[in-house]
Chain A
């Protein structure tokens, strides 16, 4: 079965420091991978997605992610964190044949990012 694991429930980094959020997936074919961000009490905003091609994907707000098939990972990175990046981050994989239909996403449980001044 498809699954997504975000090993870190909560991460704290200092403003200006670099960031890496981990995501590991289990999927039987070529995965379609996504990172979303959620501010408290808000909906999810798409940061970036990987469908095929270049394994380093650029997203909005200065984020990037690298798809590593050998490690079944899709880690999210940012070189310098801003206080406004404090939020919860969700990794997701496109689910093949889910419930008889394609197109749904399987989400990880999220990583909450706190930023220290």
Chain B
């Protein structure tokens, strides 16, 4: 089945550690996105990528990094510089960028700092 796969579903991080969240899509979509979701805050854009080897910062990119070496993959690294990383992270993709484009979401990953 086509879709967006995020892993792991649950991840625990010690303070000072970097962690990487995986996102893979087999929809042949050009654009991919990472959102952060906190209770009562809605979704906030961290990074997005329109094409392989290119990505742009969103609203809350500080403390995060991404790469886009393959069309189907867009991993997110939460670095130790992110002061409050505990949140639900959603990966998404769309066929292309452009206003009106429909964005599809993965099932999300929970990150907890312990």
Q: Which of B31, B40, B57, B99 is in CB contact (< 8 Å) with A109?
A: B40
Residues of A within 8 Å of B, CB-based: how many?
27
Q: For the complex, is B21 an interface residue (Cβ under 8 Å from A)?
A: no
Contact B97 A102 (CB under 8 A): yes
Query: Contacts A94-B99, A101-B50; is A109 near B108 (CB within 8 Å)?
Result: no
Closest to B10 in A: A41
Q: Which of B68-109 contact A (CB under 8 A)?
A: 88, 90, 92, 94, 96-108
Interface size on B (CB < 8 Å)? 32
Interface centre among A36, A103, A107 (most CB of B within 10 A): A103
Cβ 8 A contact of B42, one of A34, A95, A100, A107: A107
Question: Which residues from chain B contact A9 at a C-beta distance below 8 Å?
Answer: 40
Contact A100 B102 (CB under 8 A): no
Shortest distance in angstroms between B56's beta carbon and chain A's nearest beta carbon?
6
Whether B42 lies near A103 (C-beta < 8 A) is no
Q: How far apart are the CA atoms of A43 and B3 in the complex, in Å? A: 12
Q: Which residue of A lies closest to B97 (CB)?
A: A103
Pairwise interchain contact A41-B110, C-beta atoms closer than 8 A? yes
- Find the residue from B33, B41, B43, B98 having the highest chain A CB count within 10 A: B43
Contact B108 A101 (CB under 8 A): no
B1-57 residues at the A interface, CB under 8 angstroms: 4, 6, 31, 33, 40-43, 45, 48, 50, 56-57
Name the 5 nearest CB pairs between A and B, nearest first. A103-B97, A32-B100, A43-B105, A109-B42, A44-B105
The 30 listed contacts between A and B (C-beta, < 8 Å) are: A32-B99, A34-B102, A41-B108, A42-B107, A42-B108, A43-B4, A43-B90, A43-B105, A44-B43, A46-B104, A49-B102, A51-B100, A94-B100, A94-B101, A96-B99, A99-B57, A99-B58, A100-B56, A101-B48, A101-B97, A102-B97, A103-B101, A104-B45, A104-B58, A105-B43, A105-B103, A107-B42, A107-B43, A109-B41, A110-B40
